[in-house]
Chains A and B, each alone.
Chain A
Amino acid sequence: MEERELLHTDGLSVGYHGKELIKEIGISLKMGEIVTLIGPNGAGKSTILKTIAKQLQEICGSVYVENTRLCELPEKELAKKMSIVFTERITPELMTVADVVAMGRYPYTGGLGILTPKDEAVVAQCMEQIRISPLKERNFMSLSDGQKQRVLLAKALCQEPEILILDEPTSYLDVKYKLEFLSMLQEMTRKKKIGVLMSLHELDLAERVSDKIVCVKGKNIEHYGMPEEVFTDGFVDQLYEITDGTFQEKSGCVELKKCGGIPEVFVIAGNGTGSFLFRQLQRNGIPFAVGILGKNDIDYPAAEALAVQVIAAEAYQDFERQHYEAAKQVMCACRKVICCQTVFGSQNVLNRQLLQEAEDCGMEIELWQK
C-alpha cells in the first residue's frame, strides 16, 4: 500500500543570505518513513533541515507540506504538523522538565497558554513515552546534555506532529539511549503514523534505522536511496574523504589507519579470534600480515583494514596449497608468529601446518588469546 506523502521538496536550493549552498534538492518523506541525512561536517545537513522547518528562507524552489507550499502555510498550522529538535542549546530560566515539555502544547492552547486537562494528559503521556517522568520536577538547566535532549524530544512529541525534524538527535546520548531513542522512533513511525526526517553522524545507526538515506556533499545531493543502495563498499570512505582509516560498510565498524611497511609479525587467526589482536598491533605501530583467512571469516574485515598483507581464500572455498605457499613465504620473512587459534578443524588444517612449519624453522611463536 502506498503511504501518504507528508513532505517533499522540488528543485530546492538552500543557503544563507541569498547564497546557494546546496541546490536541486529533491527529497520526499512518506508517512511511517525515516529519512536520514548523512554527510561530512559543514556539508549543509543542518541548513537543509532548517530550510524545511521554515527557519531559513528557501533560495530557489519549494518545500511542500502535503502539497501546500511552506510559505503559504500559516505558522499555527505548520506548528501542528511539524516539530523540531535542533542542536541549538536552550537556556530557559527556572523551568522544570514538565514546563519545557508542556511548551509543546503551544499551538493547541488558548490565548494565555493555559493547559486543559487534555493537554496535561498528553504532556504526561509524552514524558512517559520518553521515560523522563521521574525527572519532571527537576530544573531543566540542571540536567545532563543527554537528558536535555530527551526532554526536547518529549516536547517535540507533545506538539503531536506528523513530521518530526531532528538535527543530530543522538549526539549527546549514550549507547543505551541511542538504541532506545532509535527504537522509539521506529515504534512511533510504525504506530503513530508520522514521518521522521533527521540528520545523523552515526553511519552504522543511520544504515540500520533509515528507510532512505540522503548523502549531502558539495553542491548537490550526492546519493539518495535505500541504505543498501547507498552503503556500497568504499562509498563512505569516498563520501567523507576518509584517509586516516576505513569504514566497513558491511559491519558498520570503523578501523584506524593501518601501519604500513614490511610485516614484522605474522598472525594466524580466524573465527573472530584475531580482531582484538589486530587492533592491539595497530596501536603499538607494528606492521603485520595475516593468513590464511577465508573471505567470509568475521576476522576478515578488520584484517583487510589493518594488515599490510592478508592471504585469503575465497568465501566457502577450502584453503589450497597455493595459499599455504604464499603464507609460508610471508611468514618466513617475519620475525615472529602469533597464533590466536586453538581450534583446528578440517577447513583450516593448513593453518596448523603453518604453525608447525614456524616451529620447525625455530621462529619465535606466541600463543595469544583475548
Chain B
Amino acid sequence: MNLPTCISSNRKIRYTVCFVILITLSVLFFIISVCAGSVQIPLSDIWRQFRGEQDELYAAILFQIRIPRTFAAILLGGALALSGYLLQTFFHNPIAGPFVLGISSGAKLFVAVVMIVFLRYSRTLSSVDLIVAAFAGSMLSMFCVLLMSPRVQNMSFLVLIGVMIGYICSAVTDFLVTFAEDSDIVNLHNWSMGSFSGITWENVKTIVFVVAVTGILTFFLSKPMEAYQLGETYAKNMGVNIKMFRVLLVILSSILSAVVTAFAGPVSFVGIAVPQMVKRLFRTAKPIIMIPACFFRWGSILHVL
C-alpha cells in the first residue's frame, strides 16, 4: 500500500496550471503593452523590428520608450506585490502593505526632499540616489512602526500607527511642495502620480539588479516564513532564529517597496491586493509558491498604467 503523501497530486496540478496561466498572462500583457499606445504598432511590424528591418519611428518608440517601460512595470509590479506579501506575513495581517504602513509615504517624503534639494544644487539626479533616498525613507517609517509594535497588543492598532505615519509624511511632503519652486514640483508631481513614463534602459538595469538580488534572498527565506505563519512561539520552537528573521524581512520588504517608490512613485493598490488574489488563486499561502507567484501576478494591474 502506498503511504499517503502530504502534497497531493491535485495540488501539484493546480500549482502548475496557475503558474502557466500567470506566465501566459504576463507574456500577453507584455505584447499588448508594447503594441498599444498613442501610436498603434501592429504585431507584424514588431516582429520586423526584431528581424532588423528598421523603421526609425517604430524603433524609437519600441526600444526607447515602450520596452524599457514594460520591463520596469514587470519588475516593479512584482517587487511591490512581494513587499506586500512580506509585510502581511510579518504582521499576520491581511491589510498590511507598504502603503498602509506608511512605508511608501516615508519613501515619498525622502524622495521629495532629495528631488527639491538636489535639483537646486546640481541638475542631475541618478537612479541610485533615488533608491537610496527612498530606502532611507521607507526604513525610517518601518522603524517607527516597529518601535511601537512591542508596546501594542492589537495588530489593528499597529496598522493605525502606520496610517498615521503615512499622513505625517504626506503632510511634510505637502509642506515642502508648497514652498518649493514650480519647476521642482512638476517633477515631483509627475513622479508621485505613479507612472512608468521616463524609464530608461539605465533605470531598468538598476531595477533588475536590485529586484533580482532581493527577490532571490526572499525566496530563500520561504522556509522560515512558512514556520512564522504558525506564530512566533512555534516558529521559535522549530528552530527559527526569530530576531534575525524579522530583521531580514523588514530590510527586504523595505528595499522592495523603496525601489518601487523610487521609480514609479507610491503605488498603493498592488501591494495589498496581489498577495490576496494570488492566495485565493492558488488556494495556499505557502511562501515557496507565493513568492514566485506574487512576482508574476504583476501584469494585469500595473500594466494598465
Contacts and interface: CB of A to CB of B under 8 A. Distances in A.
Interface stretch (B3-11, B13-21, B141-149, B296-304): B3-11
A54 interface: yes
A83 B238 CA distance: 8
A313 interface: no
Interface string A73-106: 0011011101110101011111100111111101
B6 A55 contact: no
Interface in B239-282: 239-241, 279
Contacts of B170: none
B92 interface: yes
Contact of B239 (A79, A93, A117, A120): A79
B285 to A, nearest CB: 4
A123 B227 contact: no
Contact of B238 (A93, A94, A106, A111): A106
Nearest to A88: B233
A249 B238 CA distance: 39
Contact of B226 (A55, A103, A107, A133): A103
B235 to A, nearest CB: 9
A98 B237 contact: no
Contact of A75 (B226, B229, B241, B286): B241
Contacts of A111: 220, 223
Contacts of A106: 223, 227, 238-240
Contacts of B286: 95, 99
B231 A90 contact: yes
A100 B230 contact: yes
Given A91-B92, A100-B230, A136-B4, A75 B222 contact: no
A53 interface: yes
Contact of B237 (A83, A93, A113, A114): A83
Nearest to A101: B6
Contacts of B4: 124, 133, 136
Nearest to A89: B231
A256 interface: no
A115 interface: yes
Contacts of A66: none
A120 B6 contact: yes
A170 interface: no
Most A-side CB within 10 Å, residue of B7, B233, B234: B234
A102 B5 CA distance: 11
B238 A159 contact: yes
B190 interface: no
Given A106-B239, A123-B6, A93 B233 contact: no
A280 interface: no
The secondary-structure label for the interface of chain B is: loop
A198 to B, nearest CB: 15
Nearest to B94: A93
The winner among B94, B231, B238, B239 for most chain A CB atoms within 10 A is B238
A357 interface: no
A121 interface: yes
A103 B6 contact: no
A120 B3 contact: yes
B288 A94 contact: no
A308 to B, nearest CB: 49
A187 interface: no
Contact of B230 (A76, A83, A92, A113): A92
Contacts of A142: none
Contact of B240 (A75, A82, A84): A75
A109 interface: yes
Contacts of B94: 93
B48 interface: no
A134 B227 CA distance: 23
B238 A121 contact: no
Contacts of B222: 112-113
A94 B283 contact: yes
Contacts of A55: 233, 236-237
Given A102-B6, A109-B223, A95 B229 contact: yes
B8 A54 contact: no
A229 B81 CA distance: 61
Interface in A130-177: 133, 136-137, 155, 159
Contacts of A123: 6
B225 to A, nearest CB: 9
A93 B285 contact: yes
17 contacts: A79-B237, A80-B239, A84-B234, A90-B230, A93-B94, A94-B284, A98-B6, A99-B286, A102-B6, A104-B238, A106-B240, A111-B220, A113-B222, A124-B4, A124-B6, A136-B6, A159-B238
Interface of B: 3-8, 92, 94, 220, 222-223, 226-227, 229-231, 233-234, 236-241, 279, 283-286, 288
Give 9 closest A-B pairs by Cβ, nearest first: A79-B239, A113-B223, A106-B238, A93-B285, A94-B285, A75-B239, A76-B239, A98-B6, A90-B231
Given A107-B238, A113-B226, 19 more contacts: A78-B239, A84-B237, A86-B234, A90-B230, A92-B229, A93-B229, A93-B279, A98-B6, A100-B230, A103-B230, A103-B238, A112-B288, A113-B222, A115-B6, A115-B7, A120-B6, A121-B3, A133-B4, A155-B234
